[in-house]
Amino acid sequence: MKNNRFAVFIILAFLIYVMSNGEWCIPFFAWIYPILFLHMLSLNHTRKVYLIIGSIYVIGFVFQFEKAIGMDIKICIVVAFLVAFLKILPYIYWSKSKMRFQDTVIFASIMVSIEYIIYLIYPILGGLSDAYTQYQNLYLLQIVTVTGIYGITFLMYWTAAMVIWIWNNKSRKEYIRKYIIV
């Protein structure tokens, strides 16, 4: 029964990821899928989860962007593997960390660095950043004038890490309260 629930969770994470950007772009889902990916790591502590998250990134990327960026499907798949390989690195860090408050900031910082590296390797992919999913949130867009799009990316992934960090420390209310102010 536990495996069935995990399989349903994987399918849900995949669907939310696919609808978070690209063809469908439901802005709220761009905030949710990193939480689901991090939670997947909490549910299953094996290396298999990295493969699952990587597969979701690859298949999802093709579904999201193949038509949007107009590249040949073979090139799109190669790019999807490169992006997935890079984007899985912060999740590997997270699972190896002690999951302290500082690790939430480091996780988000690594993800921002990965997005920037992806942009440097293949500049057209900079336009596919999760930050662009928030184009209707005018209050959030104000941060772009100071930090660029990477400020939004940081906030999205830091929020995900914080949700999981709070969930993992829910029994330690005083400990959490100290950091919630941040």
pLDDT for 127-142, tens place per residue? Answer: 789 999 999 999 999 9
> What pLDDT shows up at residue 69?
74
- Check whether 166 has a pLDDT greater than 90: yes
Read off the pTM.
0.93
> 182 pLDDT exceeds 70?
no
Q: Give me the number of domains the chain comprises.
A: 1
Which domain does 54 fall in, by range? Answer: 2-180
Q: Evaluate if residue 66 carries a pLDDT over 60.
A: yes
Which residue in 117, 116, 147, 150 sits closest to 131, CA to CA?
A: 150
pLDDT of 116 reads 93
CA-CA distances (angstroms) from residue 70 to 118, 125, 128? 18, 12, 13
Mean of per-residue pLDDT scores for the chain: 91
d(CA 34, CA 46): 18
